Structure 1
Amino acid sequence: MTGMQYVITLPGDYDMDIIRKRVKENGNKTDGFPGLKYKCYLIREKGMDGFEQAYAPLYLWDQEEGMNQFLFGGYYDQIIKSFGWQQVNIGVPLFAEFDNQFLNSRYVMEITGSISPELSLSNVPRKIRLMTESKEEITGQVCIYNPDKWKYSVFLFMKERPQIQEGCRIYQILHISEGRSR
């Protein structure tokens, strides 16, 4: 599995209904996409979810061929045409768990951190999981790490809006596409 996300920061006065309309009209185009496990269409609204506005789709790919088809087969071209060239962040899931209510999730809390140099990394997964134990009712959780940068993001999926916490980002989920694996 591979995690992928690009975060498009939008001006503070950007009408987020434009993104809502875009997802409403086009979100289902990734339903059943080959090699995709899930695509979560995420937004942040200034004042409601934090200090900035953003469109930040999060992808979980079961097969790299699907990710390659998406990026190089013309699908990603719509992002380039609409928002310009974006940095696509790639990472490896450390854990990914979804319950039967996952597709009903409406919010995501992202917790980011760094993996510090240690003589043994064997306790890192346990340390990261401890951060998620006391969180609100979650319908899924994914930890994506990048050993090139030794950074990680934990995404906690919820049906109810979580409280904004220091060091966390809150996203609204506009749509979740469930892909098709081989």
Structure 2
Amino acid sequence: MIGMQYEVTLPVDYDMNIIRKRVAENGSKTDGFPGLKYKCYLIREKGVDGFEQVYAPLYLWNQEEGMNHFLFGGYYDQIIKSFGWQHVNIGIPLFHYFNDPFLSSRYVTETTGSISPELSLSNIPEKIRRMADGEMDITGQVCIYNPDKWRYSLFSFMKDRPQNIKDRKIYQILHISEGKEI
């Protein structure tokens, strides 16, 4: 499995209804996409979720062939045409789980951090998992790490907007596409 995300920072006065309409009209086009496990269409809205206007889709790929087909098969060209060249972050899922109501998730929090040098990495997954302790009604979770940079992102999905978010980004989920195995 491979995690992939690009973050498009939009002007502060950008009408986020443009993104909502785009996803409403086109989000289902990635339903059933070969090699994709899930694509979550995420936004952060200024004054609601933070200080920026951001479109940041998160992809979880079952196979690299699906990711390669998306990036180099003409599908990613729509992002380039609409928003310009974007840096695509990729990583490896350290752990993940998705409960039955996952597809009805409407919010996700992201906690980021560094994996510090230690004599043993065996306790790292549990340390990261504990960061989501106290979050109610999590419908799914995935931790994606990049050993080149020793950084991770922990995504916790839920149906209801979480309260008292500290040191985490919060995103609204506009649509979740479920792909298919190749």
Q: TM-score, normalised by structure 1?
A: 0.98
Distance (Å, rounded) in 1 between the aligned partners of 2:58 and 2:166? 21
Q: Which amino acid aligns with 1:68?
A: N
In the other structure, the counterpart of 1:100 is 100
1:7-66 Cα distance to aligned partner (Å, 9 max, x none):
001111100000000001100000000000000000000010011110000000000000
In the other structure, the counterpart of 2:68 is 68
Indicate yes or no: 2:139 matched with 1:124.
Answer: no
Other structure's SS at 1:175 match: strand
Q: Which amino acid aligns with 1:175?
A: H
More deviation in 129-138 or 2-11?
129-138
In the other structure, the counterpart of 2:56 is 56
Indicate yes or no: 2:162 matched with 1:162.
Answer: yes
More deviation in 124-133 or 48-57?
124-133
Aligned residues of 1:49 and 1:164 also touching (Cα < 8 A):
no
Distance (Å, rounded) in 1 between the aligned partners of 2:153 and 2:91? 9
- Identity of counterpart residues, as a percentage? 76
Distance (Å, rounded) in 2 between the aligned partners of 1:138 and 1:48? 21
Q: How does 1:108-147 map to 2 (within 5 A)?
A: 108-147=108-147
Unaligned runs of 5+ in 2: none
In the other structure, the counterpart of 1:10 is 10
Distance (Å, rounded) in 1 between the aligned partners of 2:164 and 2:148? 29
Distance (Å, rounded) in 1 between the aligned partners of 2:54 and 2:128? 26
Q: Which amino acid aligns with 2:39?
A: K
Q: TM-score, normalised by structure 2?
A: 0.98
